Chains A and B, each alone.
Chain A
Amino acid sequence: IAGITQAPTSQILAAGRRMTLRCTQDMRHNAMYWYRQDLGLGLRLIHYSNTAGTTGKGEVPDGYSVSRANTDDFPLTLASAVPSQTSVYFCASREGPGNQPQHFGDGTRLSIL
């Protein structure tokens, strides 16, 4: 089934550790996004990529990095995790121009202790 796959589904991580959240899509969408969702704050954009080889910062980029080596993969890395990065992380992709819907993965629930 076509869509977006995120891994892991959930993770508990010690503060200070490095962590990469994986996101793969098989829809050949050019644009991809990483959001974090915290209670009462909705979805906040961390980083995005309009096409392979390009990335941009969102609303809350500090402490996170991304890469877009190809169309399908858009990993999100926490270089040194901190407790405030405890959140649910969603990857999304979009086909076509900005008025088209974004398609979301099932999310990664990350707890930093």
Chain B
Amino acid sequence: GQSLEQPSEVTAVEGAIVQINCTYQTSGFYGLSWYQQHDGGAPTFLSYNALDGLEETGRFSSFLSRSDSYGYLLLQELQMKDSASYFCAVRDPGNTDKLIFGTGTRLQVFP
């Protein structure tokens, strides 16, 4: 089967940098996505990596290493509003129109 592993919780202080890791085991790989979800809210798309390397979007960056089946989301200059859950997701190799989500990492940012 397919599986993704993320830490359940990460804490950091305002202004710091935090890295949220995601390792995956899939029979095929077609890209890694990251979604953010605030408490009581809907998941929203952050980034997508299909190739190795770093993708930067403002304070957020996402990295992928296909050889290590590993990726991470890097959040810089943390703000209180970044407190949320972050999910990595891979495209289902059996049907790439579907996503398989990790169980999520809850980030708490403290002042």
Contact = CB atoms under 8 A, between A and B. Distances in A.
Select the residue from B33, B99, B103 with max chain A CB neighbours within 10 A.
B99
Contact of A45 (B43, B91, B99): B99
Query: What secondary structure prevails in chain B residues at the interface with A?
Result: strand
A99 B31 CA distance: 7
Interface residues of A, number: 25
B68 interface: no
Contacts of A44: 101
Range, interface on chain B: 20 to 34
Contact of B101 (A31, A43, A103, A106): A43
A105 B42 contact: yes
A48 interface: yes
A40 to B, nearest CB: 6
A98 interface: yes
